[in-house]
Amino acid sequence: MTSYPIIENVTLSYSNITNEIYPLIKSIRSDWTSSNTRLVTFTEGLTNIILGIFDNRTPDDDSNALIIKIYGIQTELFIDRQAEINAMIKFHKYGVFSQRVLIQFNNGIIYEFASGKTCSRDDVREENISKLIAIKLAEIHNIPVDETEQPYIILIICQFLKLVDKNSFDLTSILSDIDIIEERILPRLVQNPKHGKDLVLCHNDLLVKNIVYNDKNQTISFIDFEYTHLNYALFDIANHFVEYAGVENADFSIYPCYDEQKRWLKIYFQTRQLDQQIIDDDLCRLIEKFSALVNLTWGLWALVQAKVSPIDFDYVNYAKMRFDCYHKLRSLLFENA
């Protein structure tokens, strides 16, 4: 029986992918060639190059399709790629997602395709899809965790700060804020957090484009696990609500009202079998405080990407949008600090 992922000492180049990919996948798709398959480049990614390879002989069945992820340049500076692979293996082990990592090569991975369509900002608010997302995130958060691991939020913020071009951006006030957040605010947001309840395995990057909906099977899959680590469950929830904004022409004024949040949270906590959780305005306000941290995190990420990424995207303007959202919520986050 084959043990996955298969490790291959190969480095792929996007410019020559058509010639390089077929020898690499021969061990898992022996009869696939350039004449009976098609390569599709997915354009939504803001960090990596993502391609799909599909069998033209089965146009109505993409269950054997593959995803090729070529890691973005210098992303190893802030992404633990082995942790990403380990998370995907863990999700498959616990039956949360069926897609396996099949091949690991020097600058990327190949994994099974999640059938369906990537969601839009309208999709994630549709009642049935919203319910499926709440259930799926709860299933992730119920996976057993290592109780020695530290929450990811401050770790990743500090990692981004090391990489930001500080000559181009004045981060004096943000640096001061982060010290207070770590020392005084986080300990008050969730007092004495418990592993497996408050601190859980989180996706941490639940963009609408990282959610795949299969209408035929009525299932939800998540993709892109490069930031998956132990973190506050409420950070993951807040991140999802903030990402209702969408990716293209992001509109961060789109954020679920308290009633919409409460409906979502009821399903989520029922799935986690935490029915004793009080779902009220106070909980929604607490999630808003985590939303401030979400925007701070991804604002810093965007500044790093502006420095290292060759992808054609206005990261600096995106960072400004995120920091604007952070500052609008800052007074709520810092109350009683």
Q: What pLDDT does residue 57 have?
A: 94
Kindly report, residue by residue over 229-283, the tens digit of the pLDDT: 999 999 999 999 999 998 878 899 999 999 999 999 999 999 999 989 999 999 9
188 and 93 fall within a common domain: no
123 and 49 fall within a common domain: no
Kindly report, residue by residue over 52-111, the tens digit of the pLDDT: 999 999 988 898 999 999 998 888 888 999 999 999 999 999 999 888 999 999 999 999
Q: What pLDDT does residue 42 have?
A: 86
Total domains in the chain come to 2
State the pLDDT confidence band at 311, using cuts at 50, 70 and 90. Answer: confident
Q: What one-character DSSP code corresponds to residue 130?
A: H
145 and 106 fall within a common domain: no
161 and 283 fall within a common domain: yes
Of the residues 91, 114, 137, which one is the last residue of a structural domain?
Answer: 114
Please indicate, yes or no, if residue 280 is contained in any of the structural domains: yes
Q: What pLDDT does residue 337 have?
A: 67
DSSP 45-100: -SSSEEEEEEETT-TT--TT-EEEEEPPTTGGGT--HHHHHHHHHHHHHTTS--PP
Q: Whole-prediction pTM value?
A: 0.94
251 and 153 fall within a common domain: yes
The average pLDDT across 43-53 equals 83
Q: What pLDDT does residue 69 have?
A: 95
Q: What pLDDT does residue 194 have?
A: 95
Question: What residues make up the domain containing 233?
Answer: 118-334
Kindly report, residue by residue over 139-194, the tens digit of the pLDDT: 999 999 988 889 999 999 999 999 998 878 888 889 899 999 999 999 999 999 99
91 and 198 fall within a common domain: no
Of the residues 80, 114, 148, which one is the last residue of a structural domain?
Answer: 114
Please indicate, yes or no, if residue 239 is contained in any of the structural domains: yes
Q: What pLDDT does residue 1 have?
A: 67
Q: What pLDDT does residue 247 have?
A: 80
Q: What is the CATH number of the domain that holds 242?
A: 3.90.1200.10
Cβ atoms of 247 and 206 within 8 Å: the answer is: no
Please indicate, yes or no, if residue 168 is contained in any of the structural domains: yes
150 and 69 fall within a common domain: no
Kindly report, residue by residue over 8-40, the tens digit of the pLDDT: 999 999 999 999 999 999 999 999 999 999 999
**Taken in order 79, 199, 92, 275, is the CA torsion positive or negative?**
negative
The average pLDDT across 304-327 equals 91
83 and 96 fall within a common domain: yes
Reported in sequence order, the residue ranges of the chain that DSSP labels E, i.e. its strands, are 6-7, 37-42, 49-55, 66-70, 101-105, 108-112, 117-118, 199-202, 211-214, 219-222, 229-232
Residue with tokens 């900002």: 121
33 and 126 fall within a common domain: no
**Exposed/middle/buried for 80, CB within 10 Å: 0-12, 13-18, 19+?**
middle
CA 203/CA 34 separation, integer angstroms? 34
38 and 142 fall within a common domain: no
270 and 323 fall within a common domain: yes
